[in-house]
């Protein structure tokens, strides 16, 4: 009996030692896991700091840190991140949350309520911003704070599918986003370093905005699938509110004196502009960009619904490799890449004839569209998506540089307001045309229709430009006539004298 107790106690001691060893092993494993997690966290934080420092070096290069251009680039990147999150969140509720046949109605309604207010507000947005030139930082911050509040309202409307609230909120976000872009473009000359041209500065802002948007699209899509659209709209709200605080912290020299402080009331210029009083160079660039935006809006909605309807040749194959989601992803990636290339080319082109650059981008779009209409297929659709995004980005950057160069500061916001309104109206009208022509389920009909329209506009702009250049040359000759050749006969009876003796 005593031997049995001894064996039992020995077994208990062994079990205790085993349990203690297991506990120590578990503690060591937990410590190792915690250490590994801490090291991973430190590595992630270190990588984020390195990326942040590298980004700061890029945004603040060439004197951009001294003038405030670097801060403006970072602020616009935050603005782009918020807008991208809103777009992704609304896309899952409005565009792709319904079947194709049912989605056309809400999309058309969204386009119509987007177009009408712009047509009504266009003459007033720019002049209002011109009147608050002494507080442009606060105007930009107000547009960001306003979008944050609208995101909060839209997040509350997602659950009950309150479409009127969603549409009204989306319209408000769009209008405030355009107001921000107008203010940002108007202050660009005041933050321009001596070593950077206007086209390069605009391209740098656009490049960082596009990169930010490209990063936020998959992030927003993943978060939407995980948390839902309402949560993403709340994340966008926080992003806008934080960006608004940074807008107030922009350098004070971005604000300009009020118009009353520098111009007497009786000699004050008109408070609003149209395309008939912006000057021929600006009007030419605007009409070229209108044509490109018209086709951009058309292409987006035409291809989107054409693909979802299965009206493209590669989806009609028995076993297509590219299904609808893959096709949309490839076309979106091509458009994003085209925008990046456009920003890079604009930075490289600098100030080399931005007016001619706009016409070249339009001509490239027309040629690509004609070729795609003849040889339409997956890679033709990819090519035309890439070229259209490239032309839209490069043309808009060149247009911004032309307006900043040709228009005085006292009317610059008004001019940019007209420009943004015209481009938005062109994009919306093109989207409605694409929406209607997608019902034909024929790629050729839609592309040929737009090819004829854009070719006619390109021809008109080229002819107008040639006339303008010739008129300018004649005016130069009239103001500075060449000296007439001497016609008097030489009098050989007079002695030739040397003026130097």
Q: What is the model's pLDDT at position 262?
A: 44
End-to-end CA distance of the chain: 147
Note the pLDDT of residue 267.
Answer: 43
Name the architecture of domain 65-259: Up-down Bundle (1.20)
Q: How far apart are CA 369 and CA 378, in angstroms?
A: 14
Return the pLDDT at 197: 80
498: pLDDT strictly greater than 90: no
Least confident range from 61-70, 97-106, 208-217, 305-314: namely 97-106
Question: pLDDT per residue over 393-440, tens digit each?
Answer: 999 988 988 888 888 777 787 788 888 888 888 888 888 888 888 877
pLDDT interval class at 264 (50, 70, 90) = very low
- Segment 251-265 mean pLDDT: 59
The Cα 325–Cα 287 span in angstroms is 35
Residues 6+ apart with CB under 8 A from 130: 259, 271, 410, 411, 412, 413, 414
Q: Apex CA 380: angle with CA 376 and CA 384, to 5°?
A: 115
The model's confidence at residue 465, banded by pLDDT at 50, 70 and 90, is confident
User: CB-side exposure of 427: number of CA atoms within 13 Å?
Assistant: 16
pLDDT band, very low/low/confident/very high, at 260 (cuts 50, 70, 90) = very low
- Domain boundaries, given as residue ranges, for the chain: 65-259, 273-475
pLDDT in tens, 367-392: 988 888 888 888 888 899 999 999 99
pLDDT of residue 142: 92
Angle (nearest 5°) at CA 257 between 255 and 262: 160
Domains 65-259 and 273-475 in one fold: yes
Residue 232 has pLDDT above 80, yes or no: yes
Q: Which of 79-93, 115-129, 381-395 has the lowest mean pLDDT?
A: 115-129
Over residues 299-335, the pLDDT tens digits come to 888 888 888 777 677 666 655 666 777 888 888 889 9
CATH superfamily of 273-475: MFS general substrate transporter like domains (1.20.1250.20)
């Amino acid at each position: 009996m005593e031997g049995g107790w001894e064996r039992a106690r020995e077994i208990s001691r062994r079990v205790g030692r085993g349990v203690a060893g297991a506990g120590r092993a578990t503690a060591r494993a937990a410590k190792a896991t915690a250490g590994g997690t801490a090291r991973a966290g430190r590595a992630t934080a270190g990588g984020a700091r390195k990326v942040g420092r590298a980004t700061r070096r890029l945004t603040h290069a060439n004197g951009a840190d001294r003038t405030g251009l670097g801060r403006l680039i970072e602020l616009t990147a935050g603005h782009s991140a918020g807008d991208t999150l809103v777009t992704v969140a609304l896309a899952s509720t409005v565009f792709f949350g319904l079947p194709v046949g049912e989605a056309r109605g809400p999309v058309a309604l969204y386009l119509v309520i987007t177009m009408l207010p712009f047509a009504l507000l266009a003459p007033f947005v720019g002049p209002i911003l011109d009147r608050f030139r002494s507080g442009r930082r606060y105007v930009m911050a107000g547009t960001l704070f306003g979008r944050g509040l609208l995101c909060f309202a839209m997040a509350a409307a997602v659950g009950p599918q309150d479409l009127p609230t969603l549409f009204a909120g989306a319209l408000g976000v769009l209008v405030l986003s355009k107001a921000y872009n107008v203010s940002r473009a108007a202050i660009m000359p005041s933050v321009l370093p001596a070593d950077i041209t206007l086209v390069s500065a605009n391209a740098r802002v656009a490049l960082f905005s596009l990169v930010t948007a490209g990063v936020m699209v998959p992030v927003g899509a993943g978060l939407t699938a995980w948390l839902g659209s309402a949560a993403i709209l709340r994340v966008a709200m926080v992003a806008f509110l934080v960006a608004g605080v940074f807008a107030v912290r922009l350098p004070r020299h971005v604000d300009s004196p009020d118009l009353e402080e520098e111009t007497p009331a009786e000699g004050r210029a008109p408070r609003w502009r149209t395309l008939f009083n912006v000057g021929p160079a600006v009007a030419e660039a605007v009409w070229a960009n209108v044509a490109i935006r018209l086709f951009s809006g058309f292409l987006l909605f035409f291809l989107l619904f054409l693909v979802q309807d299965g009206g493209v040749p590669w989806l009609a194959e028995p076993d297509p490799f590219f299904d609808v989601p893959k096709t949309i992803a490839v076309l979106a990636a091509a458009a994003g890449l085209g925008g990046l290339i456009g920003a890079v080319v604009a930075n490289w082109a600098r100030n080399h004839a931005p007016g001619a650059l706009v016409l070249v981008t339009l001509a490239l779009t027309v040629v690509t569209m004609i070729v795609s209409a003849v040889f339409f297929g997956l890679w033709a659709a990819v090519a035309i998506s890439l070229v259209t995004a490239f032309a839209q980005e490069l043309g808009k950057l060149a247009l911004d540089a032309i307006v900043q160069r040709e228009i005085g500061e006292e009317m610059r916001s008004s001019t940019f307001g007209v420009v943004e309104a015209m481009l938005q109206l062109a994009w919306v009208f093109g989207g409605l045309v694409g929406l209607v022509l997608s019902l034909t389920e024929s790629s050729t009909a839609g592309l040929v229709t737009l090819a004829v329209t854009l070719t006619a506009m390109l021809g008109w702009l080229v002819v107008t430009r040639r006339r303008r250049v010739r008129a300018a040359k004649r005016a130069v000759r009239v103001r500075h006539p060449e000296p007439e050749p001497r016609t008097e006969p030489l009098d050989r009876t007079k002695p030739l004298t040397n003026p130097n003796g």
